[in-house]
Structure 1
Amino acid sequence: MKIAILDDYQSVALTYGDWASLNAEIEVFTEAFADADELVERLGGFDVLVAMRERTRFPSAVLDRLPELKLLVSTGPRNAAIDVAAANRNGVVVCGTGYLGQPTAEHTWALILAAARSLPAEFDSVRTGGWQVGVGTMLHGKTLGLVGLGRLGSSAAKIGQAFGMKTIAWSQNLTAEKATEHGVEAVSKEELFARSDVLSIHLVLSGRTRGLIGAAELALMKPDAILVNTSRGPIVDEDALLDVVRRKAIACAALDVFATEPLPADHPVRTLDNVVLTPHIGFVTREVYEIFYGDAVENIAAYQAGKPLRVME
């Protein structure tokens, strides 16, 4: 059996999970493929692919060109970048793994604190021989707005409340009763953007949420507000966000996710001084990788034994 582990950016996949137990030929790919043609060319001879989240897309047009593929394992319990129906049509079993949401909620607060206290600029100043260069913003008493109040949004709300922040939220399906369960006030979409001092996004990317936050919503935000996105880049209209950040119509954007990933080296957001940027590392912790790759090995062994686990439908 030939196994390809994809998008192992940190070259750590083989240190998590008992890969030796599979008695298979394993190749690790540490960089993203340029396009679908390169993907098919490089992966055409593999029986099993282990995909890291949604870093590599597997639409029907790609899956139809991988006749040797038998098992596609995605880290995480779901993967919007895989056309599962097309995989099944081609006789490919698609499996997921377990997941932990807490690291992403924690990283949300790393970004909020970094933005509120201008930490990147202070880090750079101290490293280059300087001293204080900015004036931070206190979070206590401010309003934290949450776009989405599911598992991650409610976790972020709890931390905000510990900081002494008022928490408000909106999503298409949020009810006042559900919000109250978490000590959060349910408000309209317009009120959420207008009232929030910190606005944090916690939605799954779907047809309903793609481009959900555009110029009209961003125009409602306070000039000293912070926007945080640890969910998915395409939920926010990237051009509209770049515009308000360039004009300093909001104080800061703190982003872990982008419309195109890896973020192109020449992307204009890299040049702005009122952004905090991290390379989609909200979930990237030892604990999550132990689950991802440990479950991936288990899935492959189960498939070999004729009893697939965690099959996506």
Structure 2
Amino acid sequence: MRAVFVDASETLAAVAHRLLRPDDPGFAINLQPDIAPEDLPALLAGAEIAVIDHTALPVDVARACTGLRHVVFLGTGARSYMDPEALRTACGVTVHTIKGYGDTAVAECAFALMWAAARGLPEMDRAMRAGRWLRTEAIQLTGKTVGLIGFGGIAGEMARLCHGAGLRVLAWNRTPKTHQGVAFVSLEQLLQESDVVSLHLLLTDETRGFLSAARIAAQKPGAILINTARGVLIDEDALVEALRTGRIAAAGLDVFAVEPLPADHPLAGLPNVVLSAHSAFRTPEASDNLIGAALDHCRRIAAG
């Protein structure tokens, strides 16, 4: 049994080397993080397991990877890069995902984006570096309402942080849930009452484009929008327009419909947007959890 980490960054490769055990199945690490899908058949020759962080795996490419039987995807958002059902049906390839490894890390990023957006910190930072003494009017968050759309482990951590900062927490989830200190309400009520809306949905066919132009328009005027989930959950054109008009006061975004975000993208030119490079989960603790879980998947697969 052989596994290949096809698109390892130096950071994740170092974690993998540290966590590998002498009796682990063969585990090759490719230190070229930007791999084209058409290069995968040669890279995966003789490997039954592909460990993938951010490389697309179309069905036609998977068919050419003749020995491939398992994909261990580093995270929960495999659908952004592949079609798990089609891979299983057409190629006999099972896709394994990893949950919970970075719940605290991602929630802390969402929390930080919320405060940075509310205070206008990036705009002031840019102005001062350019020699301008810019003072912006801030939004005071204590006592305000945060609405969490989707409620899993990350949203639970976000709720904990928000409670500690004196915010009221509402949530909406596609299936019924309860959580101490969180009021679960209809989506309509959440959008109408929330001073901050934070997205925590998994990407599926049903959630793609979930925050549509109509739902953005239904938000409380002057609200802040945070997204650390997936960029395509939001109608980006509608969001840009809402930010331009002030209907949405500010946004903190870690994920985008196209990544890396093009330099000329409208979001990059708006002063009331805080941007981070899909890095919410990048902490040493989360990386250890992630690679440790991936190696455990490989061990279970090798053990049958």
What interval of TM-score do these two structures reach, taking the shorter chain for normalisation?
0.7 to 0.9
- The normalised TM-score by structure 2 is 0.84
Quick check: 1:59–1:86 contact (8 Å CA) kept in 2?
no
What's the counterpart of residue 291 of structure 1? Answer: 289
Q: Tell me the CA shift for residue 255 of structure 1.
A: 0.7
Quick one: distance in 1 between partners of 2:171 and 2:28?
A: 49
**Map of 1:5-16 to 2, 5 A cutoff?**
5-8=5-8, 10-16=9-15
Give per-residue Cα distances to partners, 1:111-142, cap 9 Å, x unaligned: 00110111112322444444452121111111
Change (3 A) 1:138 1:7: farther
What's the counterpart of residue 113 of structure 2? Answer: 111
Change (3 A) 1:141 1:296: closer
Give per-residue Cα distances to partners, 1:184-239, cap 9 Å, x unaligned: 22332222112111111111111221111111111122332100011111111122
Does residue 274 (structure 1) correspond to residue 272 (structure 2)? The answer is yes
Quick check: 1:74–1:97 contact (8 Å CA) kept in 2?
yes
Give per-residue Cα distances to partners, 1:123-176, cap 9 Å, x unaligned: 22444444452121111111111112332223212222222222222233346x
Instruction: For structure 1, list consecutive stretches of 5 or more residues without a partner in the other structure.
Output: 309-313
Q: Tell me the CA shift for residue 277 of structure 1.
A: 0.8
Secondary structure, in 3 states, of the residue corresponding to 2:16? coil
What's the counterpart of residue 68 of structure 2? Answer: 69
Instruction: For structure 2, list consecutive stretches of 5 or more residues without a partner in the other structure.
Output: none
Moved more, 237-246 or 124-133: 124-133
Moved more, 16-25 or 110-119: 16-25
- The normalised TM-score by structure 1 is 0.82
Does residue 156 (structure 1) correspond to residue 158 (structure 2)? The answer is yes
One-letter code aligned to 1:150: G
Q: Tell me the CA shift for residue 268 of structure 1.
A: 2.1
Moved more, 264-273 or 74-83: 74-83
Secondary structure, in 3 states, of the residue corresponding to 1:64? helix
Secondary structure, in 3 states, of the residue corresponding to 2:170? strand
What's the counterpart of residue 217 of structure 1? Answer: 215
Quick check: 2:13–2:29 contact (8 Å CA) kept in 1?
no
Secondary structure, in 3 states, of the residue corresponding to 2:30? strand
Moved more, 83-92 or 101-110: 83-92
Quick one: distance in 2 between partners of 1:25 and 1:108?
A: 34
One-letter code aligned to 2:248: I
Match of 2:141 among 136, 139, 142: 139
Quick check: 1:3–1:27 contact (8 Å CA) kept in 2?
no
Change (3 A) 1:264 1:70: same
Quick one: distance in 2 between partners of 1:266 and 1:7?
A: 27
Quick one: distance in 1 between partners of 2:190 and 2:26?
A: 54
Secondary structure, in 3 states, of the residue corresponding to 1:203? coil
Change (3 A) 1:299 1:252: same
Quick one: distance in 2 between partners of 1:214 and 1:45?
A: 43
Quick one: distance in 2 between partners of 1:115 and 1:64?
A: 45
Q: Tell me the CA shift for residue 77 of structure 1.
A: 6.1
Quick check: 1:212–1:235 contact (8 Å CA) kept in 2?
yes
One-letter code aligned to 2:155: G
One-letter code aligned to 1:171: N
Quick check: 1:4–1:27 contact (8 Å CA) kept in 2?
yes
Quick check: 1:49–1:71 contact (8 Å CA) kept in 2?
yes
Quick one: distance in 2 between partners of 1:32 and 1:266?
A: 24
Quick one: distance in 2 between partners of 1:238 and 1:42?
A: 37
RMSD of aligned C-alpha atoms?
Answer: 2.8
Quick one: distance in 2 between partners of 1:14 and 1:228?
A: 30
What's the counterpart of residue 311 of structure 1? Answer: none
One-letter code aligned to 1:5: F
- Counting aligned pairs with the same residue, the percent is 35
What's the counterpart of residue 78 of structure 2? Answer: 79
Does residue 51 (structure 1) correspond to residue 52 (structure 2)? The answer is yes
Secondary structure, in 3 states, of the residue corresponding to 1:28? coil
Quick check: 2:118–2:139 contact (8 Å CA) kept in 1?
yes
Change (3 A) 1:223 1:291: same
